[in-house]
Amino acid sequence: MQSNKGQPHGMRIVSDQADPEGVGQASGTMPASDPGAMAAVPGNVSTLPGEPGQAGTAAPAAGLTDVAEPASATAGAVAAAPADDGVDDRVQDEELADDPAPVLTTPTLGEVLLAIEELWPSSLAESWDAVGPVVGRPERPVRRIMFAVDPTLEVIADAVSRGTDLLVTHHPLLLKSVNSVAATGFKGEAVHLLIESGCALVTAHTNADSALGGVSDVLADILGVTDTKPLAPSSAGLPEEGIGRVGMLPEPMLLQEFASRVFSALPSVAGGVRVAGERAGIVQKVAVCGGAGDSLFDAVRDSEADVYVTADLRHHPASEAREASLNGKPYLIDVSHFASEWLWLPSAADALVNVLHDLGHSVEAEVSKINSDPWDFILTP
Ligand SMILES: [Zn+2]
């Protein structure tokens, strides 16, 4: 098993079948998924349907629509001609003659599941979690894949209206046991809509949180945090895998400035970003956990992080973390659960397309533009 810490987001493992040129070829025909570029490109503020007003005071950076049309939205471009880069056409033609483009086939759901397992192994999932296939026949072809945070009815309806064969969501539809999937409730309705539309559903949840290139890795990268290690290392994976990440900013910065960076990086949601700590406090060591991370406070304190970015911080855990702080640290930055995990979707889509390409398959992948954050507006003093 190869680690690929240096690869773009989500490229957990470089397939042994793929020679370096083959890998380069795949990524060369893909839209850019450069982590640096992602770091400069905030979320899909301007296009998420049902978009709430901009909360907070930090101005979002330019280029918001870039993520709304994420790189993976055209991931099917694995079979597209490379852009004209000024290289002499004759040389290119000769190279092409020597190295004909591989014939790519449409994968089955079963083949896509193998690629998903390679990227986000189910062994990395927490014991209480439910990951993997939820709906779908393994032998069915998969041409179009959509990634989303939540398998809500709106997300599913949008996916099937776009001809999606496979919906990959971060959150499970059926985390707890059910006795019925009759379409008399929203979960049964979701199952029926998926099956009747021929759309499979797969969950990549805590396995995707933990994996190299997973949710917290992407969040850390986008915030400019480097040299990361897990807050809670996985017992099942690589040393770099586990829940949450802690690492360093290249330079110390004011908490106010860092909070603005967090705000600008995230998709626009009603709840905005909440901060506990002195605006003029200095931060350089940063802990992050996409989604709800209040179970990791002990690990955050042990890491001596200056600030902790996570979601869903409730009164008592947050209050007690502030009481237990040393010289006010770690400061807390509480963000939208949805937004913190949405950031992973474009790189996840790219990664899956790349792995399938290396296995000889062509698919189109895109990211859902539905805002499934449950909150719609906020009142502030
Ligand atoms: Zn979550």
- Residue labelled with tokens 């690929």: 4
- Residue labelled with tokens 């089955």: 108
**Closest CA relative to residue 310, chosen from 199, 194, 231, 201:** 231
Q: How far is the CA of 152 from the centre of ligand 1 (A)?
A: 14
What pLDDT is recorded for position 31? 36
Q: How far is the CA of 9 from the centre of ligand 1 (A)?
A: 18
What's phi and psi for 380, nearest 5 deg? -130, 160
Q: How far is the CA of 344 from the centre of ligand 1 (A)?
A: 11
What pLDDT is recorded for position 92? 52
Q: How far is the CA of 81 from the centre of ligand 1 (A)?
A: 37
Residue 273: inside a domain: yes
Can you give the residue range of the structural domain that contains 235?
225-340
Q: How far is the CA of 291 from the centre of ligand 1 (A)?
A: 4
**H-helix segments, 120-241:** 153-161, 186-196, 206-210, 215-222
What pLDDT is recorded for position 219? 98
Q: How far is the CA of 215 from the centre of ligand 1 (A)?
A: 9
- Strand segments, DSSP code E, in the chain are 132-135, 144-148, 166-169, 200-203, 226-233, 242-254, 274-276, 282-292, 307-311, 331-335, 364-367
What pLDDT is recorded for position 2? 35
CA distance 114 to 227: 30
Residue 263: inside a domain: yes
Q: How far is the CA of 91 from the centre of ligand 1 (A)?
A: 49
Q: How far is the CA of 206 from the centre of ligand 1 (A)?
A: 8
Q: How far is the CA of 337 from the centre of ligand 1 (A)?
A: 6
Residue 59: inside a domain: no
Residue 239: inside a domain: yes
Residue 66: inside a domain: no
What pLDDT is recorded for position 100? 74
Residue 289: inside a domain: yes
- Supply the CATH number for residue 323's domain: 3.40.1390.30
Find the helix packing angle between 344-358 and 20-28, rounded to 10°.
130
Residue 200: inside a domain: no
Q: How far is the CA of 311 from the centre of ligand 1 (A)?
A: 9
Q: How far is the CA of 28 from the centre of ligand 1 (A)?
A: 32
Count of domains forming the chain: 1
Is the pTM here over 0.85, yes or no?
Answer: no
What pLDDT is recorded for position 4? 35
The one-digit pLDDT tens for each residue of the chain (381 residues) are: 333 333 333 343 333 333 333 333 333 333 333 333 333 334 434 345 334 333 333 333 333 333 333 333 333 333 333 334 444 444 455 555 567 777 999 999 999 999 999 999 999 999 999 999 999 999 999 999 999 999 999 999 999 999 999 999 999 999 999 999 999 999 999 999 999 999 999 999 999 999 999 999 999 999 999 999 999 999 888 999 999 999 999 999 999 999 999 999 999 999 999 999 999 999 999 999 999 999 999 999 999 999 999 999 999 999 999 999 988 999 999 999 999 999 999 999 999 999 999 999 999 999 999 999 999 999 999
